[in-house]
Amino acid sequence: MTTDRILLVLLLVFVVAAPFLFPMVTAAEMLVFALVAVATNIMVGYTGMLSFGQAMFFGSGAYASGLMLKAGLPLIVALPGAALVVMVLSMAVGFFCVRRTGLYFICLTFAFNQMFYFIAYIWTGVTGGEDGLPGIPRPEFIATPMAFYVFTAVVLLASLLVIWRILHAPLGLVFRLIRENPSRTAAVGYDVRRFRWYAFVISSTFTGLAGGVYAMLYGIVPIDQIHWLRSGDFIFMLLFGGSGNFFGPVIGAVAYIFLSDTLAVIWARWLLVLGIIFAITVLFFRGGIVGLVETVAAKLTGRRAGEAEATR
């Protein structure tokens, strides 16, 4: 509980400070991916379903909002519209995926993601195919980088509030129950598959919303954003920050963007370094950054307690 409060304060401080620490566009990108990571955590960390298909919803949201904005629709229609499109898509995909669990679920989401990628790839008339979807206009009131950053921050914080409420409502409790013990949850009388489906759709919808904001960030949707490698990045952001905590994924996303941006400037083969960092995280810091900080803090306070005892 106290950790959450500290992290919340840290998050607010970061949102205010980020535009001064990083280029404005990078700061906005961090917030967009922070939302994706938190949304992914609804499924992965809270419900215990590892999805390898978040990029299909992120990309679909980006394409949907990009197309609507290009068609001249106002933001107030385009962004919720994109979220709605993704919601419907995820309801269909989720229907098939939640029928299986564990490894099979991973395989299914992964394969569906690749299916979406190839649809985007060959549907050049709509998605621009390999070249991506360019020329997405940004509404006037968020035309400047600063205004866009503020807008992104508002979307992030509002979404986090909603997700927090969902996860701390009875619904979120059922999600956690499913993660801990699906068969017991079923025995209590919950339709486990249905609740898994809810988690899938909620998680995907917020991911799609983030995609919708992303489309305006650079004014283009590159096709990489719907590729399954992106899903891998999202999972990494989440676990890098710590999936056991509500705010952990935010830290993971920010650290990931910072790390990849920095490395990419230094060496063209930066993915090699990133891979090594992935591996070290997985082998030695399974709690992610939040887990690491908690362990260190516990050790420090533990040592302090020990010292106090010794002096007495």
Partner 1 sequence: MTFLILSQLLNGFALGMIYALVGVGLTLILGILNIPNFAHGALYAIGAYLTYTVARLTGSFYIAILIAPLGTVLIGLVLEHQGIRRLYSAHHDYQLLFLFAMALILQELIVIIWGPVGFSVMPPKALMGATNLGFVIYPTYRLALIVFTLIIIVTLTVFLTFTNLGAILRAGIEDREMASVLGINIDKMFLLTFGLGAWLAGLAGALATPILGLTPTMGLDILPISFVIVVVAGLGSVPGAIVAGILIGIAQGLTTIWWPQAANVVIYILMGLTIIARPQGLFGTR
Give 56 or 69: the residue with its C-beta nearer to partner 1: 56
Q: Are 203 and 43 in contact (CB under 8 A)?
A: yes
Burial of 256 (0-12, 13-18, 19+ CB in 10 A): buried
Minimum gap (Å) between residue 99 Cβ and partner 1: 5
Minimum gap (Å) between residue 2 Cβ and partner 1: 26
Choose which of 16, 74, 104, 144 interacts with partner 1 (CB under 8 A).
104
* Residue pointed to by tokens 């994706």: 36
Is residue 236 involved in binding partner 1 (CB under 8 A)?
yes
E-strand ranges in the chain read: none
- Beta-carbon neighbour count of residue 244 at 10 Å? 16
Using the contact rule CB under 8 A, the part of the chain among 60-68, 252-260, 265-273, 297-305 near partner 1 is: 265-273
Helices and strands counted in the chain (H then E)? 14, 0
Is residue 271 involved in binding partner 1 (CB under 8 A)?
yes
Is residue 126 involved in binding partner 1 (CB under 8 A)?
no
What's the distance, Cα to Cα, between the start and end of the chain in Å?
31
Is residue 103 involved in binding partner 1 (CB under 8 A)?
yes
Using the contact rule CB under 8 A, the part of the chain among 3-11, 215-223, 247-255, 266-274 near partner 1 is: 266-274
CA distance 294 to 300: 10
Is residue 292 involved in binding partner 1 (CB under 8 A)?
no
Using the contact rule CB under 8 A, the part of the chain among 191-199, 200-208, 254-262, 278-286 near partner 1 is: 278-286
73: left (phi over 0), alpha (psi -120 to 50) or beta: beta
Give 190 or 278: the residue with its C-beta nearer to partner 1: 278
Total of chain residues touching partner 1, rule CB under 8 A: 41
Choose which of 74, 102, 135, 137 interacts with partner 1 (CB under 8 A).
102
Non-local CB neighbours of 181 within 8 Å, separated by 6+ positions: none
- Give the closest residue to 150 by CA, choosing from 163, 159, 141: 141
Is residue 278 involved in binding partner 1 (CB under 8 A)?
yes
303: left (phi over 0), alpha (psi -120 to 50) or beta: alpha
Choose which of 50, 177, 202, 215 interacts with partner 1 (CB under 8 A).
50
Choose which of 74, 134, 137, 275 interacts with partner 1 (CB under 8 A).
275
Tokens linked to 62: 């980006």
Give me the count of residues in the chain: 312
Using the contact rule CB under 8 A, the part of the chain among 12-20, 56-64, 150-158, 270-278 near partner 1 is: 270-278
Binding site for partner 1 (CB under 8 A): 44, 50, 52, 96, 99-100, 102-104, 106-108, 110-115, 118-119, 121-122, 228-229, 232, 235-236, 239, 243, 269, 271-272, 274-276, 278-279, 281-283, 286
